Chain A
């Protein structure tokens, strides 16, 4: 890119960078102005402010980091004049955005994703496309992130209070977390979840791993049919599994018992174990077990000393899938379980349906943290597995 740069015309400051930055400023100004009751003043003020900021930064501050800091401070002060402490924080954020836009436009970085020969229309399209993708990513992640600040709400509301928006410490509290850790409804449900999920996971992993090893042998009669049966708990809608299990377990006297729920959850977790473990076994070098057998190891020793350590990452990630399936499951436990087996998701379901308390948001935040940990663990396992199998991690 560096060698090609000289051939490119530098974007014009007054004809390109300033108008576009001013446009962005006008848009942001419109929103702020509208909220304060004067949209026109907002548009004009925003445009002028952004234009001046961009001109100053691009012309006199070549170091970007420094320039962004200046932009943030300047806009922050402007925000503080309008709306106090909260204005300072949000203003600083807007300032960062505006100065980033100014440098992005002025340095020609906006063309970085397209070939040098691209026409302006192609550049526009490429950036619009990226913007659309950004909006979709925002759609994916924002609902999860929005829950986190709301869980610190000092009021029993499901929305941001004016105090929270003003960043007033009094608007925030840990009371919903306190409720989660002290209310017997929630602690009992949490305890039940922790009592059910590990046992169900253990069942599905131990049976599942054995079967996956069996399925990965070279000659398995009825392989397709067996696979279809073993995967079916994942495909059949949960409500149907729940209905069938309710009828059948009621006949067997398992409905409303701890073991009924454990067996049901184990069955639901099995497909995930099968899929992950068979995927790991695809890359397994069969000559290793033969070598072990050749040196006098029995099948059991071979399994635990040679095969197991190599497929362990796959087994663990299968176990995590099975665990989260059970831990997060609500439909089946609603039917197969009774009040004594009330799990965390069940309690959340009740809370959401009857709108009792924002403690749900605190629970949700805890669970989001939990899934981040899970995600990181899985990624590490995947890399380890690929390293063990001699592939380079991508």
Chain B
């Protein structure tokens, strides 16, 4: 124990200054708390936050053009997309190698479908070129095997390109061969030295020998019989490939300026293109333009999602407020019994409630049958209540109503009844007492319930999908459609990101108004 009369800082039992000792204890406490939280935090970060981040990344990511056509993208930098002419021979030479490799790796169709989202028609150009492009390589192969049949032997290629000199002597061939070797190894069925060569390596070799004079010293340094074969081929007087001519023959589509503008516009690794699409804009060579009115769908859908969610929220307030008031002002025992009527739907499976509404609202369903039986509606004029906006609104209101009633109820429970009595005793009419005294105190509950309902409503997928038909679907339907049917994942991610931004904004507001710690269940 430190002596009280002693000068200097107060000391703890072990002799350290009390301040330091307390700070250490506090730090230890903080670390212990964090250690308890850490497993869950890591779990949520990996299983939930990382997927969301991945989605955000996908909405701008555009590596596919660069990965599939790397040389073409570089060659295209010198081309002026605003001009009137399609790119020249150099670009086509690069495209020749890129495309043949992509076709062997079966990547050309993926790129074709990707670019098809931006400019319809590209996919078919890519497909047909994929079938015909290896003819260019096969012609080159014939030329070389005509000069020396040993060129056909994969083992010779393996020998030559195993040496580091090959990269300097025959750069294009080296890269094409590397792609081939990698693919064979990945397949794992054959050894690289025995597998049948891709025709593209002959194309690349021909380019190497004709487009520029290969470095003689490097060629001489190649392992045997490399120098002999290369020099023999050089001596045979090779003709360069007319890549542009060849491609235009395979498919006329390559002569279209539009196709080249699209490839050029989407060659950077990141793009705002998906977001532009999601907002009904498109990226053209003249800059960003609105799509023609007939192709505008997403803005309309976002708008519909928004106003229908608002309508649903408004319906929930309208139906939830009286019920919450009644529950908050009844005797506890009666209120508990009535509360079951609110909690049972809350706990019942979403699909049960959706199927119930489907059963009720159908043209041959319970409500229509009842109306016909009572003679209010004739059998021929049964009401159409499902597969339209009405169906979505009524089913979603039913599903989200408990989410409005519960927060309203918990706020109304805290409003003292004496205020309204005081207002009345001071001469207020019942309406004034309610509107000027009670209602303002229940506004936090309305705010909390509305935000909760609205957040839940704008992201709903199942119910609108099942009872909404085509008129009552939300933007979520298109997110699902682009993931599973059209496979345009980037657009799905962009639509999702916009929706997420809206929800996070509301979440922030909710946190400010209610505080996320104060969320209560049941």
Which residues of A are at the interface with B, using a C-beta cutoff of 8 A? 31, 34-35, 37, 39, 122, 125, 129-130, 132-133, 136-137, 139-141, 143-144, 146-147, 150, 157-160, 203, 207-208, 210-211, 213-215, 217-221, 226-233, 235-249, 251, 263-264, 266-267, 270, 272, 275-276, 278-279, 317, 321, 324, 327-328, 330-331, 334-335, 345, 348-349, 352-353, 360-361, 364, 367-368, 371-372, 374-375, 378, 382, 394
Task: List CB contacts (< 8 Å) of B323-358 with chain A.
Answer: 323, 326, 332, 338, 340-345, 347-358
Check B26–A219 contact: CB distance below 8 A. yes
Pairs A–B under 8 Å by Cβ, sample size 11: A158-B359, A158-B364, A211-B39, A238-B459, A239-B459, A239-B479, A240-B499, A242-B480, A335-B483, A368-B352, A375-B343
Whether B238 sits at the interface, judged by CB under 8 Å, is no
Q: Which residue of chain B is the closest to A133 with respect to CB atoms? A: B326
Complex Cα–Cα for A130 and B323 (A): 9
Task: List CB contacts (< 8 Å) of B419-452 with chain A.
Answer: 430
Check B40–A368 contact: CB distance below 8 A. no
Among A143, A203, A221, the residue within 8 A (CB) of B360 is A143
Among A129, A160, A371, the residue within 8 A (CB) of B348 is A371
**What is the number of contacts between chain A and chain B, taking CB atoms within 8 Å?**
273
Please name all residues of chain B whose beta carbon is closer than 8 Å to the beta carbon of A37 when the two chains form the complex.
375
Whether B114 sits at the interface, judged by CB under 8 Å, is no
Whether B212 sits at the interface, judged by CB under 8 Å, is no
Check A137–B348 contact: CB distance below 8 A. no
Please name all residues of chain A whose beta carbon is closer than 8 Å to the beta carbon of B49 when the two chains form the complex.
229, 232
Check A243–B347 contact: CB distance below 8 A. no
Please name all residues of chain A whose beta carbon is closer than 8 Å to the beta carbon of B50 when the two chains form the complex.
248
Check A239–B480 contact: CB distance below 8 A. yes
Check B349–A328 contact: CB distance below 8 A. yes
Q: Contacts A210-B40, A243-B55; is A372 near B344 (CB within 8 Å)?
A: yes
Q: Contacts A140-B342, A214-B33, A352-B351; is A247 near B58 (CB within 8 Å)?
A: yes
Q: Contacts A150-B359, A214-B37, A266-B47; is A243 near B373 (CB within 8 Å)?
A: no
Please name all residues of chain B whose beta carbon is closer than 8 Å to the beta carbon of A266 when the two chains form the complex.
43, 47
Q: Contacts A31-B374, A130-B326, A267-B44; is A348 near B347 (CB within 8 Å)?
A: no
Check B40–A39 contact: CB distance below 8 A. no
Complex Cα–Cα for A394 and B410 (A): 13
Check B54–A251 contact: CB distance below 8 A. yes
Q: Which residue of chain A is the closest to B477 with respect to CB atoms? A: A239
Given contacts A267-B47, A353-B465, 4 further A-B contacts (CB under 8 A): A159-B362, A210-B39, A247-B51, A247-B54
Check B47–A264 contact: CB distance below 8 A. yes
Could you say which of B40, B355, B483, B520 has the most chain A C-beta atoms within 10 Å of its C-beta? B40
Complex Cα–Cα for A166 and B344 (A): 30
Check A243–B348 contact: CB distance below 8 A. no
Please name all residues of chain A whose beta carbon is closer than 8 Å to the beta carbon of B455 when the two chains form the complex.
235, 237
Please name all residues of chain A whose beta carbon is closer than 8 Å to the beta carbon of B45 when the two chains form the complex.
229
Whether B32 sits at the interface, judged by CB under 8 Å, is yes
* Contact count band on B: 35 or more
Among B53, B351, B365, the residue within 8 A (CB) of A345 is B351
Q: Which residue of chain B is the closest to A276 with respect to CB atoms? A: B521
Complex Cα–Cα for A129 and B325 (A): 11
Please name all residues of chain A whose beta carbon is closer than 8 Å to the beta carbon of B356 when the two chains form the complex.
143-144, 146-147, 364
Complex Cα–Cα for A352 and B401 (A): 23
Please name all residues of chain A whose beta carbon is closer than 8 Å to the beta carbon of B159 when the two chains form the complex.
none
Complex Cα–Cα for A44 and B109 (A): 77
Please name all residues of chain A whose beta carbon is closer than 8 Å to the beta carbon of B43 when the two chains form the complex.
203, 207, 266-267, 270
Please name all residues of chain A whose beta carbon is closer than 8 Å to the beta carbon of B374 when the two chains form the complex.
31, 34-35
Q: Contacts A236-B500, A328-B349; is A244 near B52 (CB within 8 Å)?
A: yes
Task: List CB contacts (< 8 Å) of B463-522 with chain A.
Answer: 465-466, 476, 479-480, 483-484, 489, 492-493, 496, 499-500, 503, 507, 511, 516-517, 519-522
Check B351–A214 contact: CB distance below 8 A. no
Check B52–A159 contact: CB distance below 8 A. no
Q: Contacts A272-B521, A353-B466; is A160 near B398 (CB within 8 Å)?
A: no
Check A240–B41 contact: CB distance below 8 A. no
Complex Cα–Cα for A326 and B51 (A): 18
Please name all residues of chain A whose beta carbon is closer than 8 Å to the beta carbon of B41 when the two chains form the complex.
211, 226, 229-230
Please name all residues of chain B whose beta carbon is closer than 8 Å to the beta carbon of A360 when the two chains form the complex.
355
Least Cβ–Cβ distance between A83 and chain B, in angstroms: 12
Q: Contacts A367-B352, A375-B340; is A248 near B51 (CB within 8 Å)?
A: yes
Complex Cα–Cα for A267 and B40 (A): 9
Complex Cα–Cα for A139 and B405 (A): 14
Check B503–A361 contact: CB distance below 8 A. no
Please name all residues of chain B whose beta carbon is closer than 8 Å to the beta carbon of A215 when the two chains form the complex.
33, 37
Check A240–B353 contact: CB distance below 8 A. no
Complex Cα–Cα for A244 and B459 (A): 14
Check A228–B516 contact: CB distance below 8 A. yes
Q: Contacts A214-B36, A220-B33, A368-B352; is A139 near B462 (CB within 8 Å)?
A: no
Q: Which residue of chain A is the closest to B457 with respect to CB atoms? A: A237
Complex Cα–Cα for A251 and B55 (A): 12
Q: Which residue of chain A is the closest to B320 with respect to CB atoms? A: A136
Check A144–B345 contact: CB distance below 8 A. yes
Complex Cα–Cα for A375 and B43 (A): 29
Among A245, A327, A331, A361, the residue within 8 A (CB) of B355 is A361
Check A324–B484 contact: CB distance below 8 A. no
Check B521–A144 contact: CB distance below 8 A. no
Check A375–B359 contact: CB distance below 8 A. no
Check B349–A375 contact: CB distance below 8 A. no
Check B40–A230 contact: CB distance below 8 A. yes
Check B355–A348 contact: CB distance below 8 A. yes
Q: Which residue of chain B is the closest to A282 with respect to CB atoms? A: B517
Check A345–B522 contact: CB distance below 8 A. no
Q: Which residue of chain A is the closest to B332 with respect to CB atoms? A: A394
Q: Contacts A353-B466, A375-B340; is A143 near B39 (CB within 8 Å)?
A: no
Least Cβ–Cβ distance between B294 and chain A, in angstroms: 27
Complex Cα–Cα for A62 and B338 (A): 30
Q: Which residue of chain A is the closest to B405 with respect to CB atoms? A: A140
Whether B260 sits at the interface, judged by CB under 8 Å, is no
Check A217–B355 contact: CB distance below 8 A. no
Complex Cα–Cα for A204 and B45 (A): 13
Could you say which of B332, B356, B465 has the most chain A C-beta atoms within 10 Å of its C-beta? B356
Q: Which residue of chain A is the closest to B357 with respect to CB atoms? A: A143
Check A241–B51 contact: CB distance below 8 A. yes
Among A35, A203, A367, the residue within 8 A (CB) of B349 is A367
Check B369–A160 contact: CB distance below 8 A. yes
Please name all residues of chain B whose beta carbon is closer than 8 Å to the beta carbon of A227 when the two chains form the complex.
516-517
The 6 A-B residue pairs with the shortest CB-CB distance, nearest first, are: A237-B459, A214-B36, A244-B51, A248-B51, A211-B40, A143-B356
